[in-house]
Amino acid sequence: MQKIVIDTNVIVSSLIQQGYPYKIINELFIEDRFQLCVSEVLMAEYYEVLSRPKFAKFHDFFTSAEALLVDLVDIENRATK
């Protein structure tokens, strides 16, 4: 299985619109087509970027971001078992 790191911009885009970044997150990782690779440093970057005030203008952005990050941690944990 191929290992992939998700760029922070892909995560942001997947939360804002239902285009290709959304499909990348939902279809490729959640359906276990690729192995997600994350580190503590990368997760810290995700949290820092996704909590920026400029994203508050998007409906439910912070709630969706938090749920997505929990899912990413779960995916990573499944892959390492």
Q: Is the dihedral of CA 1, 30, 57, 41 positive or negative?
A: negative
* Sequence ranges of the domains in the chain: 3-79
Q: What is the pLDDT of residues 16-65, one digit of tens each?
A: 987 788 877 777 766 667 778 888 999 999 999 999 999 999 989 999 99
Q: How far apart are CA 77 and CA 73, in angstroms?
A: 6
Q: What is the pLDDT of residues 52-79, one digit of tens each?
A: 999 999 989 999 999 988 888 887 777 6
pTM for the model stands at 0.78
Give me the half-sphere count of Cα atoms (radius 13 Å) on the Cβ side of residue 73: 12
